[in-house]
Amino acid sequence: MNKKLLTLALSGALLCSMGAPSLAAGNIPSPKAEGPGAGDVQPLPDSQLYYGQVKAVLTHEDGAVAGLHMDSERYGEYVMKISGQTFWIDSGERTASGPDGLEPGERLYVFHSPVSTRSMPPQSAAFAVVRNAPQDAGCAMYHKVEGVEELEDRLQITTDNGGLFLYAGEETGLASYTGSPVDGLGAIEPGAHIMAWYDVVALSYPGQAYAQHIMVLDQEAAAGPLTRSALVSLMHEAQGKPVVNYLMDYSDVDPSAPYGEAMRWASSEGIISGYGDGSAGPGDGVDREQMAVMVWRWAGSPMLMDYPGLANYSDAGDISLFAQPALAWAHQKGLLPAEGRLGPKDAVSLAEAEAMIAALSKAKAE
């Protein structure tokens, strides 16, 4: 795209000091949904933007940052909960950052969960903390990539529930959060999260902006063990992130956590249940047969009669009785290896779960 022509269609800068980038942080009105009951529930934004000053840095016993007590004339007081999944960004340098040297009085942008506790002040999970933000247009903005389309001379990235188109081309700088190599614009895929630097947004709906720089927020944890909360989050995402009215009262599930709404939905659908002691184990690992059972429940618990496929596995005798219907269904659907060793009690990775859910979603769409 000729950037000069695009600029002619743009009006107004997203001034960091005024907090105007909230338009690009999930606060743009969502397009109207289509189909039966479409007007009943509007999807939650992927994140909310908060701009304010640090009142206090909250720490664990080991000194690690646990939260940020923030204050803002516009948004009021908030406690932003920090976890190992929180991204730290130096906006001015366009690099990954960290909490080192953070003190009361520093002004930050925090992209956080749209779900907050009802406490005073409210608490919410921080997805990305932006430091060293310039006092003019061009702050780093946190986005989820909802769709990607290759146009003639640029890439069109859909985000903010369809409310914003970001364009990237030859002039767009690319980087990754972990510093791993970025294989061109093809590294920007649906479902990924990015930080994007851009100056102005077209006064249209959807809004439009040309990205000067994009950082792919790669998660090395994707190769780590799969947890219950990560698995239900994948299914919740594939389902369209429905919001349900369901009383969830687990002692170890924070409703404001990034996985909070997914856990609520999964509980309402019978995909997960508590352990009987009031807990749900969101951080507990999932083995292969447990993963199959949860995905099977998500699919409606279909039953196969006298299906012999599991006999193809050399360790079929290790399969738990409760998991046999789910694994038979998964095998019949081609979601598991056809034969050889299954490893029903083996830990599985997030990447394996993503592949299984993607395959099932594709099969549903066909």
Of 172 and 364, which is predicted with more confidence? 172
- Strands annotated E in the chain: 10-13, 48-59, 65-71, 78-81, 87-90, 95-96, 107-112, 123-131, 140-144, 147-150, 155-159, 164-168, 173-176, 193-197, 200-202, 207-210, 213-216
For tokens 């830990």, the residue is 347
What does the pLDDT look like over 199-250, one tens digit per residue?
A: 888 888 899 999 999 999 976 544 557 889 989 998 998 898 999 998 888 8
3-state secondary structure of 175: strand
What does the pLDDT look like over 20-32, one tens digit per residue?
A: 333 333 333 333 3
Asked whether the beta carbons of 10 and 200 are under 8 A apart, the reply is: yes
38 pLDDT more than 70: no
pTM of the predicted model as reported, rounded to 2 decimal places: 0.55
The pair of three-digit structure tokens given for residue 244, joined into one six-digit string: 């349900």
Q: What percent of the chain lies above the pLDDT cut of 70?
A: 85
**Cα 173 from Cα 294, distance rounded (Å):** 40
The confidence score (pLDDT) of residue 43 equals: 67
What does the pLDDT look like over 119-134, one tens digit per residue?
A: 899 999 899 999 998 7
User: Which of 146, 139, 222, 120 is CA-nearest to residue 180?
Assistant: 222
What is the rounded average pLDDT of the residues 345-363? 82
Amino acid at residue number 80: M
Amino acid at residue number 312: N
Tell me the CA end-to-end span of the chain in Å, nearest whole number: 34
